[in-house]
Amino acid sequence: MDALKMLQLLPGGSVNRPAVLGEFKAVNSTDPHVIYAKKEELVTFLRMGAAGSKVMKIVLFGMAAICFLTIVGIPVGIVLVIGGLHVINKGKKKAARALQDVEDVYKDYCASLGVAAL
């Protein structure tokens, strides 16, 4: 995963098309099975990142529940719930966009090599 650089997969980062294309070119092969294996590796890695987003929302909602136990903590709990909902929505959109980018770049790269996408 050198070209994607782990920073792109952090919550503030993003996976862009040139980085994904660089990953496919780094394979340096025209064998469709090798390219497909690289695509599956990228997709698996992105899905693992989406699982991290699930952990973050559980933590936020857990903290909100603890804050709701006290009258003074209710405003903080409300902010944490709103933040948790924002993390859920943003994470779903970002993951779907990144997975779609990987699929699109895979098809385009296979077409540019003249091999059939698996």
Q: What is the residue type of 38?
A: K
Average pLDDT over residues 5-20: 61
How far apart CA 15 and CA 43 sit, in angstroms, is 11
Arithmetic mean of pLDDT, 29-54:
80
Domain boundaries, the chain: 6-113
Residue 103 has pLDDT above 60, yes or no: yes
Is the pTM of the predicted complex or chain greater than 0.85? no
Rounded CA separation 73/67 (Å): 5
Please give the pLDDT value at position 10.
Answer: 47
